[in-house]
Each structure stands twice: as structure tokens, then as C-alpha cells.
């Protein structure tokens, strides 16, 4: 490599007009001193050895060629993002459920789970809604907020709500014709305890606000003259 100049060089070939240099090709050849480099190297331009190419494995010809050309599906590198929580939904917001068994019930929002679903509770004693997961799209967020800073929600995640796997028992012929005895599925006691623990704190803060308990116990419904697009929730 040639020695580096201390000051960067100004162009050897200044522009007369944009795109037209002052000196011709042959003049530039002389100015750049390419004749001197050639002379130093015995009349030939110096060349570097090319870098050795990495050895590739020997590819065998395939044994089978498909009859028609099969298109390869395009590569998909998408990573789905967690559902964006609406700005109006913060921990402690009162939500109105819009679908399902508890349609119209007003319910307290606790936190968003990793699957994107919202963890929600009645509280159970007030309106019969247990700790439950709910989709954000089926919910109206009101502007009423409750303080839930004292509640510990760490143990609740999507796995807590997973269905329990039943072991299927093989039936013998005799038992097949018996009336199917199904054990009534009972809620395990620890889930009831969890519900009570979460609700105990919530109910205290709810009773601090006048008429909030009756509000949560009542269901929401559209009455005559209410226009949803004009209502402020």
C-alpha cells in the first residue's frame, strides 16, 4: 500500500464544467504516475494474489426430479407483537363486558396477560364474575377507576386458566351401557382462595366510593334514546 498523505489530496482533475474534467485520459495517466508504478514493477501492473476461496463440499446430483416445478413458499420472518392495550384501559378501570355469559356486567380490570387477554374480576361477591380472561375487543372501557395498588397479581397468567387434561378411561362393554356418570366438575379450593384474596382488597376500595358497589352489581343496557356513538363512557 502506498504511504498515506498527511493532508487529503485536492482533485488532480478539476472540473471545467460539471462532468467535464480539465485533463484528458492520457494526461491523467501521466499525472497519476501510473507509468512510474509500471516501471517499478517491471512493465506490468502489480497484482495481488486473490484470497483463497473457501472449499465447498462436492454436490451430488439429486436422485429425484419432481415432474412439475414445485414452488417454494416465501420466507416469513414475522414475529407477532403482543396486543396493544387501549390507552383508556389501565389497571383498576371499570369495564363493561359486551359478550358472553356476563354480557353487560361492569367489571374491574386487573392486568393484561402475556397472551394479550385482559385479566378481570367482578369482584365475585358483588356481581358474580370470577377471575376471568376477556378479550379487549369485547369490552367498553369506562372512565371510572378503582385503586388496585395493593393487590398481588403475580401468580395469575395464562397457564393458571388452562383447561385441566382429563384422563379418558377405557370402557368395558358392561360399563358402556351404563348411564354415563360424570363427576360434577368442582372448582378447586385454591382457586376460590385466590378469588377471595384478590376481592378482599378490591371490595374495601369499592366500598369507599359511594354507590360504586351498586353500580358494579347492576348490568349495563342501552335504553331508549341512548346513542352509543354520543355516549361518554
Partner 1 sequence: MPFKRYVEIGRVALVNYGKDYGKLVVIVDVVDQNRALVDAPDMVRGQMNFKRLTLTDITIDIPRVPKKKTLIEAMEKADVKNKWASSSWGRKLIVQKRRASLNDFDRFKLMLAKIKVSFRYTPYCVYPFYTRVLFLKNLPQNFNRSLTSCNTVLQRSGVIKQELAKLKKENAS
Footprint of partner 1 on residues 94-113 (CB under 8 A)? 94, 96, 106
CB of 103 to partner 1, least distance (A): 16
26 vs 143 by CB, closer to partner 1: 143
**Interaction between residue 230 and partner 1 (CB under 8 A):** yes
Taking the least distance from each CB to partner 1, the nearer of 96 and 98 is: 96
Closest separation between CB of residue 230 and partner 1, Å?
Answer: 7
| Stretch 129-168: interaction string toward partner 1, x if CB under 8 A | -------------xxx------------------------
Residue 11 or residue 221: which is nearer to partner 1 going by CB? 221
3-state secondary structure the chain: CCCCCCCCCCCCCCEEECCEECCCHHHHHHHHCHHHHHHHCCCCCCCCCCCCCCCCCCCCCCCCCCCCCCCCCCCCCCCCCCCCCCCCCCCCEEEEECCCCCCCEEEEEEEECCCCCEEEECCHHHHCCCCEEECHHHEEEEEEECCCCCCCCCCCCHHHHCCCCCCCCCCCHHHHCCCCCCCCCCCCHHHHHHHHHHHHHHHHHHHHCCCHHHHHHCECCCCCCCCCCCCCC
Instruction: Pick out residues in 170-229 that bind partner 1 (CB under 8 A).
Output: 211-212, 214-215, 218, 220
Residues that bind partner 1 (CB under 8 A): 94, 96, 106, 142-144, 211-212, 214-215, 218, 220, 230-233
Amino acid at each position: 500500500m502506498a504511504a498515506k498523505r498527511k493532508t487529503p489530496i485536492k482533485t488532480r482533475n478539476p472540473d471545467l464544467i460539471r462532468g467535464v474534467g480539465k485533463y484528458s485520459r492520457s494526461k491523467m495517466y501521466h499525472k497519476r504516475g501510473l507509468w512510474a508504478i509500471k516501471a517499478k514493477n517491471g512493465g506490468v501492473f502489480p497484482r495481488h494474489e486473490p484470497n483463497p476461496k473457501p472449499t465447498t463440499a462436492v454436490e451430488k446430483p439429486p436422485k429425484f426430479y419432481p415432474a412439475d416445478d414445485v414452488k417454494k413458499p416465501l420466507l416469513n420472518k414475522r414475529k407477532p407483537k403482543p396486543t396493544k392495550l387501549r390507552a383508556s384501559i389501565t389497571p383498576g378501570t371499570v369495564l363493561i363486558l359486551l359478550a358472553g355469559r356476563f354480557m353487560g356486567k361492569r367489571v374491574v380490570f386487573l392486568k393484561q396477560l402475556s397472551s394479550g387477554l385482559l385479566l378481570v374480576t367482578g369482584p365475585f361477591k358483588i356481581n358474580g364474575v370470577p377471575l376471568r380472561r376477556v378479550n379487549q375487543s369485547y369490552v367498553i372501557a369506562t372512565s371510572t377507576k378503582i385503586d388496585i395498588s395493593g393487590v398481588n397479581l403475580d401468580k395469575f397468567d395464562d397457564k393458571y386458566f388452562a383447561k385441566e387434561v382429563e384422563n379418558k378411561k377405557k370402557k368395558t362393554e358392561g360399563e358402556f351401557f351404563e348411564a354415563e356418570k360424570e363427576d360434577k366438575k368442582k372448582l378447586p379450593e385454591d382457586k376460590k382462595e385466590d378469588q377471595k384474596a384478590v376481592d378482599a382488597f378490591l371490595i374495601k376500595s369499592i366500598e369507599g366510593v359511594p354507590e360504586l358497589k351498586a353500580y358494579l352489581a347492576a348490568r349495563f343496557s342501552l335504553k331508549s334514546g341512548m346513542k352509543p356513538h354520543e355516549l361518554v363512557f
